[in-house]
Amino acid sequence: MALAAIQERETLSELAKRYKVHQVQITKWKKEFLENASAAFEKDAGDKYADAEKQRLYAKIGQLEVERDWLKKFQSNWVFRPTSSHDQERQQVKHT
C-alpha cells in the first residue's frame, strides 16, 4: 500500500477506499517507508539480524546441552511412581 501511495497513480482517498484504511494511516506508512527505504540496501542490515538470531540459537543450544547433561547424570536416581490406580494395581501384582 505504501508503494501504491508513492507511485501516486491514485489519490489518497481512492487508496483509502480500496484498502479500507484511513488516509492519515496511508500517509504515515508512506512517510515511514520513505524514511527507512535506504535500510533495505544497507549491507549490514540483514547481517545484524542474522548475527542476533545466531547468538540466540547458540544460547538455546547451550542451555539444552546443560539440561541434557544434568538429566543424564541424575537419570539413574529416578524411581517410577505409578500415577493411575490401574498402574498401582499392576505394580502390586508384580511384587506379590
48-72: pLDDT as tens digits: 778 889 999 999 999 999 999 988 8
Highest-confidence segment of 44-48, 64-68, 91-95: 64-68
What gap in Å lies between CA 2 and CA 8, rounded to an integer?
Answer: 10
Phi-psi label, residue 20: left if phi above 0, alpha if psi -120 to 50, beta otherwise: left
pTM equals: 0.43
Structural domain boundaries of the chain? 1-41, 43-74
Instruction: Specify the higher pLDDT residue, 4 or 22.
Output: 22
